[in-house]
Each structure stands twice: as C-alpha cells, then as structure tokens.
Structure 1
Amino acid sequence: MLSSRTPRQSLAPHGCAAWMLVMILAAADTAGARSTSESPDAPLGDLLSLLDQETELATRSGMNADFVPGMATILSGSDMLARGARTVWEALSLVPGISQGLEMTGERQVLSRGVGFGYASGNIKFLLDGVSMNSTLFATANPVLNIPIEQIERIEVIRGPGSSVHGEYAFAGVVNIITRRDDRTLYARADERAAAGAGGIWHWSDPQRDLTGSINLTGLSGNGGVPVSEDALFAIGEAELSNAPGPSNEASRYLGAFADLRWRNTFVAIKILDDDYGDHFGINHFLPPSDDRLVSGQRYLSAQIGQDLVLSDALDARIRFESLQYERTRDGLYVFPPSYFDAQPVYMDQDYRETRYLGAADLHWRGWDRQLILLGVEASQVQVDRASWSWANLPFEVPQSWLDTELDRHILSLIAQDEIRASERVTVTAALRLDDYSDLGAFLTPRLAAVWRIDEANILKLQYAQAFRPPTFYEREYPGRESISSGEIATYELGYILKQSRWEGRLILFQSDLADPIVFGDDDDGFINSGDARLRGIELEYAVRLGSRVKVDANLSYVDAVSLDTDRPLPGGTDTLANLAVLWRPLDAWTAALQLRYVGDRSRPESDPRDSVSGYAMADLTLSYQQPGPGFFAHLGVKNLTDEAVHYPDLPTGFGGVDLPYPEGYPRPGRRWWLSVGYRF
C-alpha cells in the first residue's frame, strides 16, 4: 500500500509569472464580459472557438473530454501550428504540468508533474493512433516525439496514472498522437538551424464499396547545433583535448510514413518512423567533433489489422492484432577524446532490435440500463532479436554483446471497467486491470472515479488511480544490477470545470505517492529503486473569447515534488510552469499568435553541488494565412523572440570519474525563424 505523507510546504503559486497570469486573466475576464453584447453568431474560426471534444483515451469509449475521469487535454494540430509548435515534443509543453528535458546524446524527455528526469527515463505511455510505441529496451519513444506538427491531427493527453486501462509505462501520463488522415495537402517547411523538408497527405474514398484510405508522408533533414563553451574536459583540467568551444552536433534526418485503410468494419494501418540524429553533447559529456554526422538512429515499423463488430444493439467489440519492430543503432558514437586512453579517439557502434506482437479484444456491453461495461483481454510477446556493439580504439576488450539476446517477455492482461450513470448527472467509473508478466510477476491496478455534472456550467470530478512502471530490458541487464523492482504510484485528484458561453476554466488538485521509482543513480550504481516520493500540486486552465477576433488561452501549474528520504525536490523538474497564448484574427484569412512560456528553476540531483538550473520566460510569435477550403496556406514564425538563454538540466552519465557536467546544463537554441507553406486541395 502506498502511503501519504505530510507536505514539505504549502502549494502557493509564486513569482512574477504567476502575478502576470493573474493580472492578464482578470483583464481578459473583464473584456469578455464587455463583449457579451456582441452577436453570438459572430464569425469565428476553429482556432478561436471553445470546442467540446471527444476522446477514447481515458476509458476506451467515446466521451466528451469534460466528462471523462480525470482531466484530459486535447491539442488540435491547427492550433499547435498556429502557436508555433514544430514537433510533438514542443507541443506537449503547452499542456499544464508538462515540461521538457534532454538526454546528453539528443533523446527528448517529457516530464509530467516533475516525474521523468534521468537517463533512459520512460514514465509516460506514448500511443500513435492507439498503438503503443514505448520500446521495452528503454520504455521511451523518441521518434514519436520528433513527428512534425504538419503530420498531426490532434494530441490527447492524460496527466497522472493510466495503467488501469493502458497497462505498463502509463505511470505519469498517457499521450495519444492522432495523425492526419482526412486531408489532401502538399507542404514544405524550413527551420533556421534545424531541419527542412517536405511532405504530403492524401485521402481518398469509395462510398459504393465503403472504402477509405490515406497516406501521410514527411521527410526532413538538417545540420543544427548550439554553441558550447566548455565540456567535462575543462572540469578535469584536460581542456586541450576538448572540441569546445564549438557547436553541439545536432544533425538530424527524419522520415515518417503512415498509411491507413478501412473497408467497412475492417481497418489496416502501417507506420514507419526513421529518426536519425547527431550525438549532441556526448555520452560522457565530452563535446563531439562538429562534423554533422548522423550517429544515432531509431526506427519503428508498426502494422495493425483489426475489425469492429456489432454483435447486437447492446453489444459491440473490437479485435486487433499488432506487430512492432524497434531498432536502435549507433554509428561512430563519440565516447572519449584523443589521448584520453591512447592517441586516437574512442568510438562505439551499436545494433539492437526487438519485436513485439500483440493480440487484443475489447467488448462493450450496454445490456443494463445506465451502464457501459468494458471487458478486455490482451496477450503480447516481446523478444530481443539482436544486441551487439563494437569499439574503435578502446585499449581493452569488452564483450561483443551488451544485452542478453535470449531475453523475452510475455504479458497476459485482463481489463474490467464499469461506467455507471448513478443519475442523470452523476457517472461513476470503476476499472481494474491485471497484468501478468512472465519475468516479473503480476500487477493489479485499480481506478475509481466520479463525475458530477452539477448543471450546464459546473462539473466536479473525483478520482483515485494507481499505476506501475516495470523495469525495462536495459534496466534489468545493466552491469552490476542484480535485481530491480517495479515502481508504483497512487494518485488522488479533485477537478472542477466551469463553462460559460465565452470562457471556461479548469482546476485540478492532486497528490501522488511514489513507491520505489526507477531512476538512474548519481554514482556508479546504474539503475536503482530510489526512495519514496510525494507530489502535491495544482493546475489551472483558462480560455476566453474576446469578441469575434481574439482568444486568450492560459494555464498555470505548481507542484511540490520531494523525496521523502531527503526532503529534497526531485531532480530535473520545476515547481512552476505557465503558458499564455493570445490569438488574434485581424482578417478572416490571417491569424497572429503570441505564445509565452515560463519555466521555473529546475532542481539538480542531490550529489550535484551546483545551484538549480535557471528558469526562463520565452516568447514565440507566429503569423498564419489560410483561406477556408482549398488553397494556399502559410505559417511564418520566430521562436524565442527575445533570444532568451535556455538550458536544460544535464544528466548523470554514470561513468565513474568522468561524471562531470556542462557548467550551466545543456544550452538550447536562441532566436530562430521557421516557415511552413503548402496547398490544400
């Protein structure tokens, strides 16, 4: 049983960012009240509308997002593009409580409510059109985070535990990325100091045969990088061996190909993601040569086939089969500089592949009045196909294989969920999931939630949910690691939604108790179960239409995330996050958007004596042109308008005496331009 502890401090939002938001929201509310005399039929585009949206993410049954257990955030692709988000990773930072991080060799990180910092940290379940993309090697899904927004229809996000429905890795949240299908578009894009390329989406249908299909393609490449003044070699007095000062190696190449076909009730989907990138800041914090080499590669090949069955008026089912092949390669990864061991630099090549198969069936039954019962079963198998590496210029021998190639994992899962309409305005959802692992044992994860629609304007939510995070293959096989157990989390949430004709607000209070979370240790221990932790926080959201031409969208989150053993903040995260977007449509075809982002100071690991990584306030400005219907469209934007200095916390490398940091963390790009143009048919 997970325990509840006394908080270290009160949950009072603080700082200038909070005051700025309070003042703006108060002014916006006043302005919104003044505008109520305008015609409610004033022309508004979707970007300026307050829309009711449906999602299946929380319960696997289509439901208004306001009525699902917990708080769901839905980001539309058009809105994200208008606000300057360029990838899924950037878009997720618009969600309350979500912040970004970076691994030393370029893997993107997503922290939810302060959870998710560390090497190979996978604490969020990522789905691509409903298919799980978390690898069993690291539990991460880096290629999914690099999908450009032009390929995205919407992103659905649930913060907090989701294992009762989605099983493993749904520890700190669940994200479902929905790709564009019902579109006919060609486009090109260019990002200063980043990737440029082109893509297209084509959709067709044959109503007589009840047949639809779509293809969604994008290819990008670039040679980015940021200036680096010092690396770890300066800290150990070996500056003459360093490539610093110089740029980080952030070369990139991305290919995304998504094909979907539906004939009557049968659906088929194929996803290909090929994501190659440079070695950024070096695996041991030794800055790599600035030669724009593509050093790391991750590839997904996913296939899905399924059928929706209507068995009776009260009974329907969905059956699906999935396969996922994941490859991870290193080609000349820079490990040690010249003369560190010998006269030549040390490079590493690595090759890994795993394959997962899954069969699943969901049954929805409405046989009893006011009830919807979900019964589900899933059976999956994942196995390591190959795991080898080789080292150039290393003065000692290492084993040819770095992971047991006989590793496999079988999982049998059972899901039971009951949505009960206790009255016309109250819905209670109870869910229980059993996951039985061939190598770890069984996990039972419950959820109990209630939604009270007090009236047309007020909605109250209560939820208790648990989740688990099993060790990955890499964590179980890490050198010197004899045993590591699963991490667990239990979360209590109280949510409130207030909806008016021109504005709406959301409030959520939460407490999470973490037991045995899996982290990458500060020393040479590798992956460990760290001490228990506790999260307590508040998240606020507010959106208002000011007349027919302006919309303000804002959120503010505060979390007190501490280790109960040390009473110190969890590393990598911040207590305060804020977003403020102002969208203005001066003419029907033109939209201007100002996106402000505030990130507070971020804590370092306990063993790091440096001050916290400084927070920042960043502004993005975007101008968009789009006529209704077919025709030319364009988006022109500038990221980091004020050229703010932004750093992400650096990670412990775990390599003994060279576990030394970059002085201020990992630097990120300053001001830069981007352009996306295309034609919609």
Structure 2
Amino acid sequence: MPECGIGREAAGEFDPSEQGLESRSLESKVLDVIADATEIATKNRMNADYVPGILTILRRDEMMALGVRTVAEALTLVPGVVIDRRQEGRFTASFRGLDNGNNEVKVLIDSVPLNNSLAGNSTYFELPIAQVERIEVIRGPGSALYGESAFAGLINIVTYSQPYAHLRYGDNGTTEVGAIYRFDDPERDLSLRVNLAGWDSRGADLWVERDLLHTIGLASVSNAPGPVDSGEQYRFGQLKLDVANASLFAQYQFSRKNAFFGSTGVLPDASGRNNRLDDSQWLLQGRVDFAPMANLNGAFILRWQQVESFFDKLLRPPGAPAVPDSPLLPDGLYNERWLSAMSTKAETFLEWTGWDHHKLRVEFSIARDEGLDAWRAFNADIFTFEQLPEMRRYSGELATFTPDAARTVSSLAIQDEWSILENLDLTLGARYDHYSDLSDSFSPRIAGVWRINDRHVVKAQLAGAFFPPTLLQRYYVPLPPTEQETPDRPQRVHTAEIGYIFRKPNTVARLTLYYSKLFDIIVTTPEGIFNRGKERLKGVELEWEQRFWRDFKLDANLSYADTLNEETGGPIPGAAKWLGNLSLFYRPRKEVLLAGRWRYVGERMRDPLDSRSDPLNAYNDVSLTLSWFDVGTKGVTLRAGVTNLLNASIRSPAPLDTYEYDYPLVESRALWAQISYTFP
C-alpha cells in the first residue's frame, strides 16, 4: 500500500547516521509536529495516521524530555490507558477501562512477542525509556493479525539503536544504568547491537492503615498500620545480530518485587523474613527472509521462550489462622512457589504484490506451550492447616498446576490491503486459531481509511479479538485439592471504532469514538476461575498536538470511558471515567529544554458488593524536567526533574474487603538527576 506521498523525514524515519546528538534530534522532533511511520497495524510500513485502527506513537525524545523513566510511566501518556499495581507489586495496564487482571494486551519488543503462556504477563513495564527509540500503541483489538492476547490493545517497544550510555539517580532511591553498543560492517552486510540496562530501587516511603485482617476481626495480629516494603530490581539484556537476509534475536529480563501489599490482602512484615517475587524470561528467535519472485517475499521464523517465577511471601502473620475456623499459627503462614513454562513456535508468512492495488499477506504458525516444573511449599499442613516446624513442599498432583499442563496452537491469518481509490484504502483480515485444549477462535477485521484531502482523514474499523486462559488459569489446582471448574474457552470482544484526524502544519487533532462488547470474561474468585459474564465499553478520546511558535509546543489528550459489567449492573471495578494529559515543551535557549506534564486520573468506581461505597479518589500528578544538551562536550546531556510536584496521593484500587484505603503507590514528591552520553 502506498505511503501517499509521506517521505522518510516527514514520516519520522531517520537514518542512524543522521540522528547525531540528542540536541539535534530535539530540534527535529520534540518541537515539531511530525507524521510518524509504523509497521504495527498491518506489518507493512505506513504513515501512522493512515493505518487501520487507533494508534499512538510515543517518541523517545519527548518521553526523555518529560522525565519519563520506564515503559510503565510512558504508557500513561496514551489516551485511555491507566497503569496500576497488583498486591504483589506487578504492573497491570488498563485500556479504555478494561482490566480484569488478565493482562489482555499483546506486547512486543522490536516486533517480537513477549506474552508468555504461563500467566500471560511479561516484565516489559520496567524497561528504562533511555533504552527505547519509540513505543507504538494500538488501542482496541489486534487478534486478526497478532492472535492471542491482542485483546484490549497492542504495544510494540522499539529499542534504541545508537551507541549510548546513561546513569540516573533519584525517584525514591532508584539507581539506574544502561548502555548500548553497535557494530556495523557494510561490506559483509553485518550489524550487531547489544542493549544492557538495570536498576535498583528501595521504593517509596509508603504506609497503610488497615488490611484484610482488620476486616475479619483480627486486627490484633495484623502488621497494619505499618510501612510497605516496595523495593524492586530490574535487569535487561538484548542482542540483535543481522547478517544479510538472516537475523538472530536474544533477550533476557529479570524483575524482583519485594513484599509490597502481600498476595492475600495481608500486609507482610517489612522487617521480617525475605518476601519477594522473582520473574525471569529468556527469549531466542531466528529469522530468515526470502524473496523468490519480484512480487513475492516472506520469512521463516523460529522462536523459543522460557519463563520462571519464584514466589516467597508471608500469607498470614503469627497468631492468625490460615483460613477461618482453622487453628491459629504461632509462626504465621509462609508460602513458596516455583513455576516454569516453555513455548516453542514456528511461523512463516508470504506477501504478494502482483495484483494492482492489493497487498496480500498469509501467515501460518504452530506453537507448543507446556509447563516445565511447578511446586509450592508451606509451613503448615494443607489438609489440617496445623503449623509445621519447617516448610513442606507439594509437587506433582499437589503443585500449582497439573503436571500435564500443555497445549498446541495452530493458526492461519489472511490480510488484504486494498487501495480501492487513490485516497481510499480498505484492509480486510481474518485469523483462525485452533487450540488443543480450548474451543477455537475466529478473529475478523474490516477497516477503511479515507484521506479526504491533505488535512482531513476519516477511518473506521470493525474487529474481533480473543484472550485464551493461560496455562495457570486452565490447569490451576486449588488447595486443598477439590474438583473445580476452570475456563475452557477464550474471552472474546467485538469492537467498532471510528476516528477523525485533522492535520495542518504545526497542528494535529484526533477524535475517536468506540464501542465494545465482551463475552465469556475470565474471572478469578475465591471459589475458582471461570468464564463468566459480559461487559460493555464505550467512550470518546480526544488528542491535540500543537506547535505555537518556534520554541513552544503542547501535547494534550482527554478520554471518557463508560463501562458496564452486565452481570452486576454496575461499572467495571477500578475503571476511571475521565483521564487526561497535558504536556508542555519550551526551549528558552538552543541547548536548554524545559518540559512539564500534568496527568489527571478521575474517580474510579467500586464493585457493587464493595463495602467501600465511595469511589477511589481522583488525583493530579504534575512533574517538571530540565534538559541541558552538549554540556562541556558534544553528546553529553544532563537532565534533572521533580515528580509528583503536588504531593498527590496516587493509589491503585485494591479488591473488596482487603485494604480499606487501597494500594498507595506514591505519596510525596521526589527528585532525580540523569547524565547521558550519545557516542559520535
């Protein structure tokens, strides 16, 4: 499909040799209103305003100028997106008010999928923005092209490719380092990139008042009121090797979360036994591209992924029972848990451009997901709930999931990009996924983009998507073991979207309307994990990017979401109706940039059965950042900033009957500073 006259520079595509210093990139990107190019929507490079679906691109220089540190923070710049934390410290992303705790967003790094078969989540949230070139985000279904997990949205994190190093300190005792190495040999058509980063944080100074034990009348043995141990660590390593038409991609991620809020709504003792949650992920992909004919090209891809999770947490403090009416536990109840799973996948695709005005793409893949090992240990008997002198391990049929947890998935996807007229494009697509242990899924898509003229674009899309139960959800074993229903079909969504884009020099405005119906939602309750209920989402999203004069630019967005859980008759718990962002960039001198951001998260509603009848309060988060380029020598950049300038109380919603005042994440302002060097 043609790019409709959008050249390389206008499309935001820059040759690495031209990128140069951050200050030069600043002049060409941060203060300009540009048209980006992307492959995420159709897997073919196009102007981002002309792709089907609703797309946002977050650019490196703008994110850095705003002081954004991690991918999690960056995603809050996207209309309709809220990032929260779960009780054990893991992040979760809510798109358009949808958050059932299933991580229903497909995540890729450099177009390589990250979601794992074990629990569906990945550790991408913690990746430092200093290692990232841009983040491409699709709001809405993406299963017609990307398959499972592309349910509420799709995220592609494109890593930075230029030689670079940075050091950052602040943000509640966070120390972060990162470096990028690149080697190119044009004569042998060889390119090597290595990307390494890591950070450690002692966490914010947080305090909670009342936890679950207060609710059930055991306040005397609770650690609350008390401090929260929110320390964490993150490590990232990536290698990309390209030789002629072949490539190798290797990646490692590790994330450690300290005690946080406890996995059962009970505050762990921050000064007691080591409480942690470790998540590790290894990924290896090989790819060979081929073009047997002038109008035919394709690729063959092999991918291997392994994930591991180790959990060591306090479930009940000394003096509390394991469950109601069971014996009191003098030493408390501790749980250790180990899970590991592996996925292997082979896929191939062909693209045909031999027919006028058409670009056909056919993909086929087959994958095997299987649990490798699982065990759990307690310092209490799981049948009698009596205290044990040491930890007792349970494996096999008593492990967290059954030993035969495995599935085979085969998929076929077809897409046709059809230029009906010079200014009217239609994208037709469909995907069929066959699961060995679940019902099959069919994901259609029809989308149109009408470029009325150079200033006005209208787009519309009808699409379906699905999210299958993970291995942990499908093969979960409760304790004590009981016959229990588990989800046997994917949850599904049907979405209609219509968007309007207005563009002129120095101005871009976007308006999006959407309506979604969800079926067979996978929910986790004390009684088990089920396919249950229906939900409805509808809303509007507004975006505005404006350069007022040479040295000043504004980015703003506002979104409204109306959610309905048709089973309860109330809103989806935790959904915010109103979200907003306002970012300002001002350059008083060529080497200095001032940036500020105001983020608004509106009230979030409760479950109708929640005794906390009042919504979770709205908050305003304001941050300021100063960037100083070419300090002393070309390529050196100093940045400093303040986050949460207004000392807002920033909290994530806690489940009913657990923490009365939800999960505090940030309670006070914090300072930070960073130095970086872009190698010539």
Indicate whether the TM-score tops 0.5. yes
Residue 435 of structure 1 and its aligned partner are, at CA, apart by 0.5
Cα contact 2:63–2:129 (8 A) shared by 1? yes
Residue 665 of structure 1 and its aligned partner are, at CA, apart by 0.6
Q: What residue number does 2:198 align with?
A: 219
Q: What residue number does 1:75 align with?
A: 58
Residue 443 of structure 1 and its aligned partner are, at CA, apart by 1.0
Residue 594 of structure 1 and its aligned partner are, at CA, apart by 0.8
Q: What residue number does 1:31 align with?
A: none
Aligned CA distance change for structure 1 residues 561 and 409 (closer, same or farther; 3 Å): same
Which whole-Å CA distance do the structure 2 matches of 1:627 and 1:425 have between them? 44
Q: What residue number does 2:268 align with?
A: 288
Residue 529 of structure 1 and its aligned partner are, at CA, apart by 2.5
Aligned CA distance change for structure 1 residues 398 and 525 (closer, same or farther; 3 Å): farther
Q: Does 1:441 align with 2:439?
A: yes
Cα contact 2:163–2:179 (8 A) shared by 1? yes
RMSD: 1.9
Residues 102-151 of structure 1: CA deviation (Å, up to 9, x unaligned) = 11111101000111243xx221111122222112222111x111111111
For residue 501 of structure 2, the aligned residue among 497, 500, 523 is: 497
Q: How many residues align structurally? A: 627
For residue 531 of structure 1, the aligned residue among 530, 533, 556 is: 533
Cα contact 1:104–1:651 (8 A) shared by 2? no
Residue 543 of structure 1 and its aligned partner are, at CA, apart by 0.3
Q: What residue number does 1:298 align with?
A: 279
For residue 430 of structure 1, the aligned residue among 405, 420, 428 is: 428
Q: What residue number does 2:623 align with?
A: 620
Q: What residue number does 1:361 align with?
A: 348
Name stretches of at least 5 consecutive residues in structure 1 with no aligned partner. Answer: 1-42, 653-659
Cα contact 1:468–1:486 (8 A) shared by 2? yes
For residue 450 of structure 1, the aligned residue among 448, 451, 454 is: 448
Q: Does 1:311 align with 2:284?
A: no
Which whole-Å CA distance do the structure 2 matches of 1:638 and 1:241 have between them? 38
Residues 326-351 of structure 1: CA deviation (Å, up to 9, x unaligned) = 111113x1111001132102211111
Q: Partner letter of residue 540 of structure 1?
A: L
Cα contact 1:516–1:531 (8 A) shared by 2? yes
Cα contact 1:276–1:294 (8 A) shared by 2? no
Q: Partner letter of residue 665 of structure 1?
A: D
For residue 412 of structure 1, the aligned residue among 382, 397, 410 is: 410
Cα contact 2:211–2:660 (8 A) shared by 1? yes
Q: What residue number does 2:21 align with?
A: none
Q: What residue number does 1:662 align with?
A: 659
Q: Partner letter of residue 318 of structure 1?
A: A
Q: Partner letter of residue 517 of structure 2?
A: D
Cα contact 2:376–2:393 (8 A) shared by 1? no
Which whole-Å CA distance do the structure 1 matches of 2:364 and 2:314 have between them? 45
Report the more deviating stretch, 349-358 or 241-250: 241-250
Q: Does 1:371 align with 2:358?
A: yes
Residues 185-243 of structure 1: CA deviation (Å, up to 9, x unaligned) = 12111133243131211111011111111111112112214122232223333333222
Paired residue secondary structure (2:202): strand
Q: Does 1:385 align with 2:383?
A: no
Which whole-Å CA distance do the structure 2 matches of 1:294 and 1:365 have between them? 54
Residues 146-175 of structure 1: CA deviation (Å, up to 9, x unaligned) = 111111111111011110001001110011
Q: What residue number does 1:188 align with?
A: 167
Q: Partner letter of residue 325 of structure 1?
A: Q
Name stretches of at least 5 consecutive residues in structure 2 with no aligned partner. Answer: 1-25, 321-327, 387-391
1:508-519 counterparts in 2 under 5 A? 508-519=512-523
Cα contact 2:208–2:661 (8 A) shared by 1? no
Q: What residue number does 1:27 align with?
A: none
Cα contact 1:633–1:677 (8 A) shared by 2? yes
For residue 554 of structure 1, the aligned residue among 542, 553, 556 is: 556
Q: Partner letter of residue 569 of structure 1?
A: P
Which whole-Å CA distance do the structure 1 matches of 2:181 and 2:433 have between them? 39
Residues 565-610 of structure 1: CA deviation (Å, up to 9, x unaligned) = 3331111111111101011111111111111111111112232121
Report the more deviating stretch, 629-638 or 75-84: 629-638
Q: What residue number does 1:32 align with?
A: none
Paired residue secondary structure (2:141): coil
Which whole-Å CA distance do the structure 2 matches of 1:565 and 1:294 have between them? 37
Q: Does 1:86 align with 2:69?
A: yes
Q: What residue number does 1:200 align with?
A: 179
Which whole-Å CA distance do the structure 1 matches of 2:529 and 2:599 have between them? 33
Q: Partner letter of residue 490 of structure 1?
A: H
Cα contact 1:44–1:548 (8 A) shared by 2? no
Cα contact 2:441–2:490 (8 A) shared by 1? no
Report the more deviating stretch, 558-567 or 627-636: 627-636
Cα contact 2:374–2:401 (8 A) shared by 1? yes
For residue 114 of structure 2, the aligned residue among 127, 133, 157 is: 133
For residue 488 of structure 1, the aligned residue among 487, 492, 495 is: 492
Which whole-Å CA distance do the structure 1 matches of 2:43 and 2:173 have between them? 37
Residue 52 of structure 1 and its aligned partner are, at CA, apart by 1.4
Report the more deviating stretch, 536-545 or 292-301: 292-301
Q: Partner letter of residue 339 of structure 1?
A: G
1:16-95 counterparts in 2 under 5 A? 44-95=27-78
Which whole-Å CA distance do the structure 2 matches of 1:517 and 1:624 have between them? 45
Q: What residue number does 2:15 align with?
A: none
Which whole-Å CA distance do the structure 1 matches of 2:292 and 2:139 have between them? 34
Cα contact 1:561–1:570 (8 A) shared by 2? yes
Q: Partner letter of residue 63 of structure 2?
A: M
Instruction: Give the TM-score, by structure 1 length.
Output: 0.89
Residues 532-560 of structure 1: CA deviation (Å, up to 9, x unaligned) = 11111100100000111111000011111
Residue 476 of structure 1 and its aligned partner are, at CA, apart by 1.7
Residue 388 of structure 1 and its aligned partner are, at CA, apart by 0.6
Paired residue secondary structure (1:81): helix
Paired residue secondary structure (1:324): strand
Paired residue secondary structure (2:72): helix
For residue 597 of structure 2, the aligned residue among 595, 598, 606 is: 595
Q: Does 1:159 align with 2:157?
A: no
Which whole-Å CA distance do the structure 1 matches of 2:553 and 2:400 have between them? 53
Cα contact 1:414–1:435 (8 A) shared by 2? yes
Residue 638 of structure 1 and its aligned partner are, at CA, apart by 1.1
Cα contact 2:486–2:529 (8 A) shared by 1? no
For residue 337 of structure 1, the aligned residue among 289, 292, 317 is: 317
Residue 415 of structure 1 and its aligned partner are, at CA, apart by 0.8
Report the more deviating stretch, 540-549 or 344-353: 344-353
Residues 13-70 of structure 1: CA deviation (Å, up to 9, x unaligned) = xxxxxxxxxxxxxxxxxxxxxxxxxxxxxx9441111121111111111111111101
Paired residue secondary structure (1:481): coil
Which whole-Å CA distance do the structure 1 matches of 2:674 and 2:645 have between them? 18
For residue 642 of structure 1, the aligned residue among 620, 643, 646 is: 646
Residue 399 of structure 1 and its aligned partner are, at CA, apart by 4.1
Residue 676 of structure 1 and its aligned partner are, at CA, apart by 1.9
Residues 250-289 of structure 1: CA deviation (Å, up to 9, x unaligned) = 1211110011111111111110001111120111221111
Paired residue secondary structure (1:449): strand
Instruction: Give the TM-score, by structure 2 length.
Output: 0.89
Q: Does 1:177 align with 2:164?
A: no
Which whole-Å CA distance do the structure 1 matches of 2:472 and 2:517 have between them? 25
Aligned CA distance change for structure 1 residues 464 and 71 (closer, same or farther; 3 Å): same
Residue 525 of structure 1 and its aligned partner are, at CA, apart by 2.2
Residue 294 of structure 1 and its aligned partner are, at CA, apart by 5.6
Q: Partner letter of residue 616 of structure 1?
A: Y
1:1-12 counterparts in 2 under 5 A? none
Cα contact 2:90–2:257 (8 A) shared by 1? no
Which whole-Å CA distance do the structure 2 matches of 1:443 and 1:468 have between them? 7
Q: Partner letter of residue 553 of structure 1?
A: D
Report the more deviating stretch, 155-164 or 312-321: 312-321
Cα contact 1:164–1:415 (8 A) shared by 2? yes
Which whole-Å CA distance do the structure 2 matches of 1:431 and 1:286 have between them? 47
Q: Partner letter of residue 267 of structure 1?
A: S
Paired residue secondary structure (1:250): coil
Cα contact 2:287–2:299 (8 A) shared by 1? yes
Q: What residue number does 1:469 align with?
A: 467
